[in-house]
């Protein structure tokens, strides 16, 4: 007698990616961000908030600049193709503002 395996459905890559980014946001051990900060239309406000969060956090593994920039990149990458050009521009400007706040040269 032949036994049949029941097919278990694997979550799609997209579903897994959504769950992964949600998990990172909920359990990140780096920064406690101001709620909805990335929805702000001001690059200066985003950069200032990230800097304050990075400098206040005692749980981050890297330096404050790297932690703040990583969180900004994470948000931008998570948005991917669905991120409107205007939001991308604000986030890119926030990176420039963050570099200015930390007196870093732009590469």
Size of the chain, expressed as the number of residues it contains: 107
10 is a domain residue: no
The whole domain housing 46 covers 35-101
pLDDT digits 0-9 by tens, 22-52: 666 666 666 778 888 888 889 999 999 999 9
- Number of structural domains (the chain) is 1
69 is a domain residue: yes
3-class SS at 18?
A: helix
Long-range contacts of 22-27 (CB under 8 A, 24+ apart): 24/74
pLDDT digits 0-9 by tens, 37-90: 888 889 999 999 999 988 888 777 788 999 899 889 988 888 888 889 999 999
In this prediction the pTM is 0.70
1 is a domain residue: no
Asked if pLDDT for residue 4 goes beyond 70, the answer is no
Residue 12 DSSP one-character state? P
13 is a domain residue: no
The tokens describing 65, both together, are: 């600049």
19 is a domain residue: no
Place of tokens 């409107």: 84
Place of tokens 């600049």: 65
């Amino acid at each position: 007698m032949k036994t049949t395996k029941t097919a278990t459905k694997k979550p799609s890559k997209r579903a897994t990616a959504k769950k992964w980014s949600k998990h990172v946001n909920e359990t990140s051990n780096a920064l406690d961000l101001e709620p909805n900060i990335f929805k702000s239309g001001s690059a200066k406000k985003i950069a200032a908030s990230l800097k304050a969060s990075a400098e206040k956090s005692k749980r981050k593994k890297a330096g404050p600049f790297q932690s703040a920039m990583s969180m900004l990149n994470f948000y931008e990458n998570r948005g991917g193709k669905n991120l409107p050009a205007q939001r991308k521009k604000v986030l890119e400007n926030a990176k420039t503002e963050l570099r200015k706040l930390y007196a870093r040269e732009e590469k």
